Amino acid sequence: MTSNTPLSPCSILLLAGGRGQRMGGQDKGLIEWHGEPLIAHLHRKTRALSDDLIISCNRNQEKYAPYADRLVVDDLADFPGHWPVFVLA
């Protein structure tokens, strides 16, 4: 069922940060699936839902930047995966 009711303004946060310990150290959002990084699939699904798309990423900010309005990162160097964060832009 679809609705014609417009969505209320909201921000969407995609979590791509962390150490990737359970993924062999890989950056989860950049793992390829069907020929594209996972972040590309998530961007396509969420972009139209918000005018404030935020990605939390601790590594590879330059690769995530094209998919986000803002990036946020952990403020600690070892990427413990908890707040507070530092907003990049």
pLDDT, tens digit, 9 for 90 and up, residues 2-56? 666 666 778 999 988 666 777 777 888 899 999 999 999 999 999 999 989 999 9
Residue ranges per structural domain of the chain: 11-87
pLDDT on residue 27: 87
Which CATH homologous superfamily contains domain 11-87? Spore Coat Polysaccharide Biosynthesis Protein SpsA; Chain A (3.90.550.10)
pLDDT of residue 39: 95
Tokens 């590879």 map to which residue?
60
Distances in Å between the alpha carbon of 42 and those of 55, 78, 82? 11, 26, 22
